[in-house]
Structure 1
Amino acid sequence: MHSGCTAVTAFLRLEDAEGQQSFVPSGFDPLSWDIPTSEDEDEHGGGDNIDASKLGKRKHRLHSALTNLGGGAGFNEAHHAPSTHSQVFTPPESLSVRRVLYCANAGDARGVLCRAGRGIRLTYDHKGSDKQEAKRIMDAGGFVMSGRVNGVLAVTRSLGDSSMKEYVVGAPYTTETELSEEDEFLILACDGLWDVIEDQKAVELVRGIVDPSKAAQFLLEHAYENYSTDNVTVLVVRFRSPPESVRDITA
């Protein structure tokens, strides 16, 4: 039996909230960014010295980049508002950002998010016992026997297993979750853990443990104690400290 556990501190992609305009102030002309003003022209001997083609390309790049931010809403408002090149852009103190967690899985490894103490599964178990997966395999010309693809493989999707790739595909199940203040941590583990514990129970067992490495180790030991017969790998990602009401000061 192989086992392992680990932990990480959350490092997530920060995205501008789609459609928000707070990152581009009303009345600001984005095409004035890094583009010579009349004062700059005077310093360089007048506007005739400016490379018109380079200036046009620069404007085009800025236009494309800002249009992509927030679906272009902030850019369009700012671009069509009255403006002068003498305006100065002051970044807002607080940008509108969101934290987004992306999950993708193929197989029976599982991701469970703790949201205000409630376990939310973000992945999908691709097993022969799943009716939809079994139908897909049979439609492709294979069969499922005793919960296994062609009587051999327990998972219905994976990376590898080329001998059965006609049935055992690698297309992942994906989710996109916008994290909120209620989201505390994420458990990622293979079926060696989930064979012996339910999602909610796993969340409850480690919710109060501050150190994610200790939380992962706790779940690993729980799998051992409950006679898991499969390999066990556990990863805990903590997004914020546990609430004081459930914090385990001894862990």
Structure 2
Amino acid sequence: MLKKIGFPLVILFSITGIILSYMYNQQQIAEIADEATSSIPVEEPETNEETEVEPDIDETVSSGWLGSHIEKDSSLTQKVVFVGSSSFTSTESDRDWPSLVMKETAHAITATKIDYEVLTYSGETVSSSLIADTASDITAAEPTILIVESFSLNDNQYYLPFTEQESVDNLSLFLTHMESELPDTEIIVVPSNPFPNALHYLERKNTLDEQASSLPGTYVDHWVAWPTGEGLESVTQNLRPNDEGQEIWSEAFLEFFIDS
């Protein structure tokens, strides 16, 4: 009787032992695996994000003349000086194209500080004592960029006996003097404004266009932006630009200056 009972018990205990042993081994394997996993350093995935670098010059400026000038000139501050006649101020208000230009330039550029000054000489002609009357003012302003009107309208209006060639020769003399006084200054030359029904004045302008490449500085002809015929009459008054004419002049120059 005991043999019949004992034999099944032995088998039961053996099976139970095998099961417990298997469970114990599985637990040991799991613990070893956990330890191995925790000991492996986890590498952070590499990111391909590129750090954006702010440009030194705004894109709106870099493609214009001013951007190219700033790239070559390490100065933190630029001083723009405009020199011209009463054409620089509207016949209707105190609006003037140099200020309009600099207002747009200030919005377009942030990397460089730009100051400006406008010097006007209403009755002066380039055929008179322009050098003696203006050179000291210009030099004192210490421009890094000098923008000069040709004064050809004043030449035409006040001193018609002076020939077209004499006007260009005197303008060249004036610009050469300023180049000598301010050797590190960039010079830009702009013709005086157009006006309707011009005769000798057109000849004077054509002579200036033909010889502009021989003048010191960069010549910027804004006349292509002005209307003709009755349209030109509506943007000028007493031969000078009104408010709308000042806008036209400023927009034309901005195309060159900051490629707006």
TM range (shorter): under 0.3
Would you tell me which structure has more helix in proportion to its own residues?
2
Quick check: which has more Rg, 1 or 2?
2
State TM-score, norm by structure 2.
0.19
Would you tell me which structure has more strand in proportion to its own residues?
1
